[in-house]
Amino acid sequence: MSARSVLRALDKDKYDVIQIGITHEGVWLVGEDLLDRMIAGNLSGLKRVTLLPDPTRQGLYSFRSDDHQEILESLSGLDVIYPVLHGTFGEDGTLQGFLEMGEFAYVGSGVLGSSLGMDKAVFKDVMRSNNVPVVESVVLLRSEIARDMDGVLQRAERVAPYPLFVKPANLGSSVGISKCHSRSDLIEGIMDAARYDRRVLVERGVNAREIEVSVLGNDRPQASVPGEIIPAAEFYTYDAKYHDDRSQLLIPAPLSDDMVALAQSLAVRAYAASDCAGMARVDFLLDKQDNQLYVNELNTIPGFTHISMYPKLWEASGLAYPQLVDRLIELALERKADRDQTERRYHR
């Protein structure tokens, strides 16, 4: 859905677009009507392609079979890559590291910003070290959970009274997240989260409003007006995000001027502390009891459909979707030019 929206927004007179699809098995493909065919599961006739982590052979390569061998052939040069990938192997720094090795220009954060944004546990530690408020939490290892569930439960329950939230440390779209009101809920939540990551995060539950701010830029980032999510479920679950049209987006969020300024300031601070580039959406919890604002997480490749919060917040801030896409490509090329100034050899 995000990819389709970005493709619609790209100016066909300005950009020569090559779509690259990636299957669940990790096969990279190009071809006519690629997006529709991948959605339909009709991959016949599509061409396998790859990139090389070799800057002297930069570009897109296709595979050709010849006498029971597969031969790589140069297919096209690539000026900039626009990843529209959520979750692991997309926004966690792994793809970004691969692209860095090949010296490609690409949209979005680099290895560090991407991996920090994906790892909710380490992200919170970085926020604490920069005096950015986050809720209390503890990290549990899957090996500890298997070996000593009683000890794990005791550590988790020391975080705060119920309710507690349990999450995989590395994932997105609210997959594997549980709100736990009792020890039995906590056991179930921990076991579910451990399916998706070897590290599990347990956080104090906050009766909160969910506020989001979009950030755009490289070394001089700017923040959008804040928005608010009114989830259809008890919290913003996967279904509430993608399948339940009762969830509401309030843009701009009904906040005081002081709270708007605080949210924008904290969003930029979190972005800079994480060494983000290009874009990120910073999500907040605003405690309904004491009006305390907490940074909850940072998404380096946020949802990008035409109804997603990230582009809608920029639209409300005066930057339309097509111009936003143009700006992100400009920022990618700017970031690449900055990287190219780095010395890779030491000369005495």
- Here the CATH number for the domain that contains residue 300 is 3.30.470.20
Q: Are residues 44 and 190 in the same domain?
A: no
Of the three residues 165, 186, 204, the one that is the final residue of a domain is: 204
Is residue 10 in a domain? no
Q: Are residues 198 and 333 in the same domain?
A: no
Partner residues linked to 164 by β-bridges: 180, 204
Q: Are residues 194 and 240 in the same domain?
A: no
Q: Are residues 183 and 161 in the same domain?
A: yes
Of the three residues 31, 53, 77, the one that is the final residue of a domain is: 77
Is residue 83 in a domain? no
| Predicted pLDDT at 145 | 96
CB 48 within 8 A of CB 39: no
- Domain that residue 169 falls in: 137-204
- If we measure between CA atoms, which residue out of 296, 300, 280 comes closest to residue 96? 300
Q: Are strands 208-217 and 248-250 parallel, antiparallel or unpaired?
A: unpaired
Q: Are residues 24 and 72 in the same domain?
A: yes
What residues contact residue 32 under an 8 Å CB cut-off, 6+ apart? none
CB 85 within 8 A of CB 246: no
Is residue 57 in a domain? yes
| Predicted pLDDT at 243 | 54
Is residue 12 in a domain? no
Dihedral, 153, 157, 158, 161 alpha carbons, nearest 10? 180
Tokens 């919170």 identify what position? Answer: 124
Q: Are residues 55 and 164 in the same domain?
A: no
Q: Are residues 239 and 330 in the same domain?
A: yes
Is residue 3 in a domain? no
| Predicted pLDDT at 348 | 82
Q: Which residues of 320-340 are buried (b: 16+ CB within 10 A; e: fewer)?
A: ebeebbbbbbebbebbbeeee
Per-residue pLDDT of the chain (348 residues; tens, 9 = 90+): 899 999 999 999 999 999 999 998 999 999 999 999 999 999 999 999 999 999 999 999 999 888 788 899 999 999 999 999 988 889 999 999 999 999 999 999 999 999 999 999 999 999 999 999 999 999 999 999 999 999 999 999 999 999 999 999 988 667 889 999 999 999 999 999 999 999 999 999 999 999 999 999 999 999 999 999 997 766 655 655 555 567 789 999 999 999 999 999 999 999 999 999 999 999 999 999 999 999 999 999 999 988 899 999 999 999 999 999 999 999 999 999 999 999 988 888
How many domains are there within the chain?
3
Look up residue 67 and give its two tokens: 């006498």
Q: Are residues 123 and 227 in the same domain?
A: yes
142: CATH: 3.30.1490.20
Look up residue 18 and give its two tokens: 């090559």
Q: Are residues 218 and 328 in the same domain?
A: yes
Whether the CA torsion 232, 238, 243, 245 is positive or negative: it is: positive
| Predicted pLDDT at 240 | 54
Of the three residues 204, 234, 250, the one that is the final residue of a domain is: 204
Q: Are residues 37 and 170 in the same domain?
A: no
CB 253 within 8 A of CB 266: no
Is residue 99 in a domain? no
Is residue 280 in a domain? yes
Q: Are residues 161 and 280 in the same domain?
A: no
DSSP for 99-142 reads HHHTT--BSS--HHHHHHHHBHHHHHHHHHHTT-----EEEEEH
Q: Are residues 194 and 253 in the same domain?
A: no
| Predicted pLDDT at 237 | 57
Is residue 265 in a domain? yes
* C-alpha span between 297 and 256 (Å, rounded): 22
CA distances in angstroms from 304 to 28, 42, 335, listed in the order given:
21, 25, 21
* C-alpha span between 65 and 247 (Å, rounded): 50
